[in-house]
Copies of this chain bind each other. A is one copy, B any other.
């Protein structure tokens, strides 16, 4: 049984998903996951030519569920009537093998003993999953937001022959130092809680104060200054910004597992495709052969448009398309009615390109 019995990480909250073992996973940082399980959801059917597969990796604190609720469906660019779409939850995200749920063969890496995982480890595990379990050797598209964009870039650089198209939304190929410091502040909000107990708490409820402060820092960086000024949270049914924090942003995070969030944050901090080229970002991005859409969100306070522009200039066959959204980074939730139509337009156009 898992180290922590956290009901949030279940089908009740995330809808149906399947756990698939990809076996022993040797990690880039030297650790091992003895029996790595990936939580996946699929939509649609793989065609005979096996050329209609789309991969969606997940972002920090998110799961496949947001894609089911918002991004995937008939009428959207990510259309299950046309494509075989596979969403894979990231390691440490709480549904795939993670600190709080490591049991059985993974019991030795539960909780504070969970090894450091890199974006590259997720992508290696995903490639194995697709090849060995789903018979997919080539992807029509990899698309992800935030940490999902980090994984998208890792795919395009690491396996250029396997990625026909790539779309990175609100995330960069090489994490910025500012982002590193933002994630550091998030991490320290959690680890400084006495209830965290060095990662050996008995329930996420022990760390509710730290998780709440973590939510408070997201409030500052996750949305835009203008989101707060225009009181956009009113559209979500709240009367005050305090009610929005207490009724939405804080409960969103306080149900989550602290060690799981830390595993993801550590990974996010170090996303960097230039690991493959001795630190040379231009050479790494130059490897990309996928037709690539770079899709920053206009008001994003930490994955800034400027940082996307700098990388896009280094990616052959790429184009930049700024997604206009006053919500900032957390526009990824698709709350603004104008958000998904922009995503659909860009992804539809990208999927229509010949490769």
Task: Please determine whether A216 and B184 come into contact, CB atoms closer than 8 angstroms.
Answer: yes
Binds B, one of A40-48, A83-91, A222-230: A222-230
Binds B, one of A29-37, A145-153, A174-182: A174-182
Which residues of the other chain, B, contact A304 by a CB distance below 8 angstroms? 225
| Of the residues B188, B192, B226, B306, contact of A306 by C-beta under 8 Å | B226
A220 contacts the other chain (Cβ, under 8 Å)? yes
A24 contacts the other chain (Cβ, under 8 Å)? no
Could you tell me the distance in whole angstroms from the C-beta of A327 to the nearest C-beta in chain B? Answer: 13
Which residues of the other chain, B, contact A209 by a CB distance below 8 angstroms? 192
Complex Cα distance A185/B228, Å? 15
Complex Cα distance A223/B177, Å? 12
A213 contacts the other chain (Cβ, under 8 Å)? yes
| A220 in contact with B182 given A176-B228, A177-B229, A228-B176 (CB within 8 Å) | yes
Task: Please determine whether B301 and A216 come into contact, CB atoms closer than 8 angstroms.
Answer: no
A103 contacts the other chain (Cβ, under 8 Å)? no
Task: Please determine whether B219 and A181 come into contact, CB atoms closer than 8 angstroms.
Answer: yes
A189 contacts the other chain (Cβ, under 8 Å)? yes
Complex Cα distance A170/B345, Å? 39
Which residues of the other chain, B, contact A307 by a CB distance below 8 angstroms? 225, 229
| Of the residues B188, B226, B306, contact of A213 by C-beta under 8 Å | B188
Complex Cα distance A185/B304, Å? 21
Interface size on A (CB < 8 Å)?
34
Task: Please determine whether B177 and A228 come into contact, CB atoms closer than 8 angstroms.
Answer: yes
Task: Please determine whether A216 and B177 come into contact, CB atoms closer than 8 angstroms.
Answer: no
A193 contacts the other chain (Cβ, under 8 Å)? yes
A217 contacts the other chain (Cβ, under 8 Å)? yes
Complex Cα distance A231/B178, Å? 10
| A217 in contact with B185 given A225-B178, A301-B301 (CB within 8 Å) | yes
A113 contacts the other chain (Cβ, under 8 Å)? no
A60 contacts the other chain (Cβ, under 8 Å)? no
Task: Please determine whether A241 and B181 come into contact, CB atoms closer than 8 angstroms.
Answer: yes
Count chain B CB atoms within 10 A of each CB in A209, A220, A224 and give the residue with the most: A220
Complex Cα distance A307/B229, Å? 9
Task: Please determine whether B176 and A306 come into contact, CB atoms closer than 8 angstroms.
Answer: no
Which residues of the other chain, B, contact A15 by a CB distance below 8 angstroms? none
A194 contacts the other chain (Cβ, under 8 Å)? yes
A302 contacts the other chain (Cβ, under 8 Å)? yes
Complex Cα distance A301/B189, Å? 21
A25 contacts the other chain (Cβ, under 8 Å)? no
A221 contacts the other chain (Cβ, under 8 Å)? yes
Complex Cα distance A193/B193, Å? 8
Could you tell me the distance in whole angstroms from the C-beta of A344 to the nearest C-beta in chain B? Answer: 29
| Of the residues B188, B194, B225, contact of A176 by C-beta under 8 Å | B225
Task: Please determine whether A228 and B192 come into contact, CB atoms closer than 8 angstroms.
Answer: no
Task: Please determine whether B220 and A181 come into contact, CB atoms closer than 8 angstroms.
Answer: yes
Which residues of the other chain, B, contact A185 by a CB distance below 8 angstroms? 213, 216-217, 219-220
Which residues of A in the span 186-229 have a Cβ within 8 Å of any Cβ on B?
Answer: 188-189, 192-194, 209-210, 213, 216-217, 219-221, 223-229
Residues of chain A at the chain B interface (Cβ within 8 Å): 176-178, 181-182, 184-185, 188-189, 192-194, 209-210, 213, 216-217, 219-221, 223-229, 231, 241, 301-302, 304, 306-307
A sample of 6 inter-chain contacts (CB < 8 A) reads A176-B228, A177-B228, A178-B224, A181-B216, A189-B189, A192-B192
